[in-house]
Each structure stands twice: as structure tokens, then as C-alpha cells.
Structure 1
Amino acid sequence: MAGPAAARDRTAVDGAQLNNSLTPHHSEGIPRLTVPFCGTIKGGMRPGKKIVVMGIVDPNPKSFEISLCCGDSDVPPADVAVELQARFPDHQFVRNAFVSGEWGEEETPIPYFPFIPDQPFRLEMHCEYQRFRIFIDGHQLFDFCHRVENFSAINMIKIIGDLQLTKLG
């Protein structure tokens, strides 16, 4: 994102709700944990590091997305190491990556759809050498093999859609 509109879209987080691995972006000097959310992952990702997203699904959701990105550029568009998209109408939790200007093949198989409208959830993204391992409410849901090789370049988290954020870490 670039320009004044992008600056308004970036949100900040109260330091008490965010651990040291994520740095908030500030919007008009007011810290808040709102959607859409855009924040920096200090030092990028590395094997052994995890990201935790806690939130509450909206009462009548259509979808939400959580993306780990390599920067925040629109031109050329930044690589997306992993995009997780919860699609409520068809109960799908789709995974994909955007590398070198192209989206890869979507991955859709899951053992169950873990999100319930108007209910809280805890999503953990564990970075391992070969993959991201995704847990929902403490249960492993799936793995996503890395398509971006340079882990330290994965330095942004973006969250959009039909949910309220309660905590990030």
C-alpha cells in the first residue's frame, strides 16, 4: 500500500495486546486493534517463530483473510507467503501464496471447518523449515508448504474481513 489512503487503512495496536515480535503501524497516532489490520513482524519469520491471532467471528460472516506478506508494496505487488481465507458460505478455509506476480494453486482440503459465527477463535501459525503448521483452538488443522524461501522477507501481517481482533502475538 502506498499513499495517504493506505496510511489511513493501517492500524495500530495497543502494546499490551501485542507481543514483541509484532510492531504496530500507527494511524493518526491512535493505537487500536481494528480490521483491516496491517502490522510489521519484527525480524521477519524464521523456523521456530509463531504468530497468534485471536478474534471473534462476526455474527453474519462472508469471509476473512489473514496474510503473511513480504513487505507492503503495491507496485510491484509484494509477495504473499501465505494467505488464509475463511469462506463461510461454502465452509472452506483456502490457502494460497502470491510469488513473483502470480498466485499459486489454492489448497482447500480440511478435516472440518473450524469457525462459527459470533464465536471466538485462536489461530496459530507455526513456521517450520519446510512449512507453516496451522492450529485452530489448539488443534492442528493443516500444513502449508513454503513457497517463499527467504523467511526473513516475510515481515508483514494483514488481516481483513468479517471478524473482530482481540489479541495478536
Structure 2
Amino acid sequence: MAFYQQQPFYNPKSPFKGSIQGGLQDGKSIIISGRVLPHAKRFDVNLQCGSHSQADIALHFNPRYENGSGYVVHNTFQKGNWDSEERKYEIPFPSGHQFTLQILVTQDTYKISTNGRHFMDFRHRVAYSQVDTISVNGMVELNSIGFQNPALFVPPQTAFLPQFATPPGYGFPAYPPAVSYTVPYKTVINGGLYPGKNILIQGIINPNAHRIAFNLRHISGIAFHYNPRFDQDVVVRNSHHMENWGPEERFGGMPFKKGQPFQVTISCNPHHYNVFVGGQQAHTFNHRFTTLNEIDILEVSGDLQLTLVQA
């Protein structure tokens, strides 16, 4: 089977409808990043079988902000009719906030994660091989819609397992980890960065930690230096180019705790990085080095243990 490496859609306007080149395959992932507009009432993401107005919808993901709380509806639309709804009474994306939504296609289900954290599974009612269109509608501002093919994922024994094993019954096989992570740790980011690319890091902060650091590097420096400092109770963000550090950014809180597990998602957007810690947005950092595909190394260092890296 031939896989198409599709370029992301950048800054699409809602309502949006676009083609999924090559359709869906087992292991393909779609990553949508953006911001829910303030006072939003609802928005939806649809994986469709065609682009016409009455096309079948294999997956309808529909956050609804109602009565001060809200919920998410999951459904399908077939032969002109909606099927039975599945509702989850939780809103993973607060209105007015940035978000990253990832939909991973598996043989039996769509696995949906929000801001790097598993949200729910939705079993196939329509064959995913028929899906060739994505649409987004409603009160949302989009940064990018990106695609990752199965060939771009690390093997299943290291991809997603610890990150998504927290909620029992997530459905991934219980493969033992095949990688032993030694800190400091360095790995290649296959293909470099691009809008829609997510980097996932999970581990445990040492009880007496002073500092940790995550670096996204290119050949002549560090595009993004993310540096939680427990001795100063601050997270420093910076870049390093041609042997010189840029101006530090220090505003925002400290989302990490000594002795506690952590999960970080660094989401690359067209103009900035979003950093989610434990599924909550913690910081943003505007691109200073803009040739994203040349950013091809991830480094992790400091007072921590690693349990998962997906770059």
C-alpha cells in the first residue's frame, strides 16, 4: 500500500473542508491545532466519505459548551441519518484556550487524544478506508491540520504505550518497552519539524531535582530551549544561535513537581510552539528559527528519569 506524505493545511478558516490524500489507513494520525474562541457554543471535526453536503461521516467529534459545563458528542452520519450518540461529559478544551486534537486510526477504533492525553476511543461504524475528507466547523480558530503516516511512527512497543496506558482499557497491546532511556538523552526527529508535528516526552522528576531541559536543535544551535528550574521556581524558554543565547522568557507558572511523574507535549504550530504539561497548556514560544525542517534533534537532560519519548 502506498502512503502519501501530505503537507499540512496552514491557518485554514472555519468552516473548512479539505481532502485527505490517500485516504485513511491503519496507523495514520491527524493532528489539529488551534484555539477555541471565547464564549464558544460548539464546534465539530468530521472525518467524511466525500465532500458533498450529505456525505457519510465516519467520525463526528463535537464539543458543546452549554450550561456552564458541557460535553463532547461522538457520532456517525450514514445514508442521510445520524446514528446513536456517544457522549462524554467532559470538555477537554476550555473556551478561549489553545488546543491540540489527535485522531489515530486503528483497525477497530479511532483513538482520540486531547492536548497529548487520551480522551476516548470510538469504534468504527463506517469503514475508515472510505474516508477521504476532513471538515471543521464552528467557533474555533485553526492553526494547522497535519497528517502523520504509519511509516513515521516509532514501533508500537514504544509509541503511545505509557502515555495512554493511564486510563485502563485504552486498547493498545501491552508490549514491554523496547527502549532504555539514558539521561542525557538525544534522538533524531525524523523529517524535522513542521506545523502539526507533536513531540511527546514522559518521565519522573527526581525528588531533589534542580533543573531539567528539553532542547529542539538544528545544525547551528537550539531553536527551542525549555528549561524548568526548580531552584528558581520558573520555566525559562529561550533559543541559542551562532553561540549566543537570545532573550529569556520567564512568565507563566511552574507546572512540574519534584518527585512526580510528568507528561509533556510540544506541539509545533506555524508561528509558535505550544507546550502542554499533563494535558494542560503551560507555555507558548514564538519561532525564532523558522526553517522548521532543519530542526531535527531532540535533547533531554537534567534531574529526571525518562519512560517514553516519541519524536
DSSP-derived class of the 2:183 partner: coil
- The alignment status of 1:131 with 2:272, answered yes or no, reads yes
- The alignment status of 1:86 with 2:234, answered yes or no, reads no
* 1:115 corresponding residue in structure 2: 256
1:10-69 deviation per Cα after TM superposition (whole angstroms, max 9, x unaligned): xxx9972247xxxxxxxxxx9521101000000000000010110100010000110000
1:76-135 deviation per Cα after TM superposition (whole angstroms, max 9, x unaligned): xx310101111001111000001233210000001x211111110111100000000111
| CA distance 1:14–1:48, shift in 2 (3 Å) | closer
1: CA distance between counterparts of 2:231 and 2:299?
22
1:144 counterpart (269, 285, 292): 285
Calculate percent identity across the aligned residue pairs: 32
The one-letter code sitting in structure 2 at the alignment partner of 1:46 is Y
Tell whether the 8 Å contact from 2:273 to 2:287 is kept in structure 1 after alignment.
yes
* 2:302 corresponding residue in structure 1: 161
Tell whether the 8 Å contact from 1:45 to 1:155 is kept in structure 2 after alignment.
yes
Q: Cα RMSD over matched residues?
A: 1.9
Tell whether the 8 Å contact from 2:158 to 2:179 is kept in structure 1 after alignment.
no
DSSP-derived class of the 2:238 partner: strand
TM-score w.r.t. length of structure 1: 0.78
Q: Kindly report which structure 2 residues correspond to 1:27-66, keeping only aligned pairs within 5 A, or say none.
A: 31-66=179-214
The structure with more radius of gyration? 2
Tell whether the 8 Å contact from 1:36 to 1:158 is kept in structure 2 after alignment.
yes
DSSP-derived class of the 2:293 partner: helix
The one-letter code sitting in structure 1 at the alignment partner of 2:308 is K
TM-score w.r.t. length of structure 2: 0.43
| CA distance 1:15–1:32, shift in 2 (3 Å) | farther
Tell whether the 8 Å contact from 1:134 to 1:143 is kept in structure 2 after alignment.
yes
**Higher relative contact order (Cα pairs below 8 Å, separated by 6+ residues):** 1
DSSP-derived class of the 1:17 partner: coil
* 2:215 corresponding residue in structure 1: 67
Tell whether the 8 Å contact from 1:14 to 1:31 is kept in structure 2 after alignment.
no
The one-letter code sitting in structure 2 at the alignment partner of 1:102 is N
2: CA distance between counterparts of 1:55 and 1:116?
12
The one-letter code sitting in structure 2 at the alignment partner of 1:109 is F
The one-letter code sitting in structure 1 at the alignment partner of 2:234 is Q
The one-letter code sitting in structure 1 at the alignment partner of 2:211 is S
2: CA distance between counterparts of 1:18 and 1:66?
19
2:243 counterpart (101, 109, 134): 101
Tell whether the 8 Å contact from 2:266 to 2:276 is kept in structure 1 after alignment.
yes
2: CA distance between counterparts of 1:66 and 1:109?
18
Q: Structure 1 unaligned runs (5+)? A: 1-12, 20-29, 72-77
The one-letter code sitting in structure 2 at the alignment partner of 1:38 is K
